[in-house]
Amino acid sequence: MSTMTAYDFCKIEGHVKPTNPRHQAAFDGAGSCARCGRRLEIDELERNIELEEKWTLDAARYAQYVVDHHMAANMMNMYRSARTNGSAPWRDASERNWIDEAIEECVDLNAYLCAEMQRLMDNYENHEGWDKQIMLMRMAMAASITAFHSLMQAKKMD
């Protein structure tokens, strides 16, 4: 028995609220799913980049193990800008559960860190700075667990 992918689900069932369709430009900007080609209505939320940057800087001030919070916040803001297409609005804004999305990302982060730590453990003899790499991965894993726990608590409040 094979596992159905999101693409398979799109082709068979169409988009329902729990799926996360992937937009691509088509239909004069209305959009279509990059997975199956179905037309998607665009539901956007305008972003306040100045406020996003302020929130990130405020959070960086309280982040564990961060010495230069300005540099960390600036790096996060630049990377977020590149990943989110600058100031483009959020898509599927009213249909998405942003807390669930964030929880999924925390779990992904934890899984990726486990994979990297396993790779490092398997090659420790040939790796300069191995101890520091492992320590940094464990610090990042602790942050993923802190974020996951906080988001689960926030979800209970819904």
pLDDT tens track for 79-136: 999 988 788 888 777 777 899 999 999 999 999 999 999 988 887 776 778 888 999 9
The model scores a pTM over 0.75: no
Residue 27's domain comprises 1-42
- The share of the chain scoring above pLDDT 70, in percent, equals 72
State whether 148 and 107 are in the same domain: yes
State whether 38 and 54 are in the same domain: no
pLDDT at 30: 53
Mean pLDDT of all residues belonging to the chain: 82
In this structure, are residues 155 and 100 in contact, taking their beta carbons and an 8 Å threshold? yes
DSSP label at 128? T
- Number of domains, the chain: 3
State whether 102 and 141 are in the same domain: yes
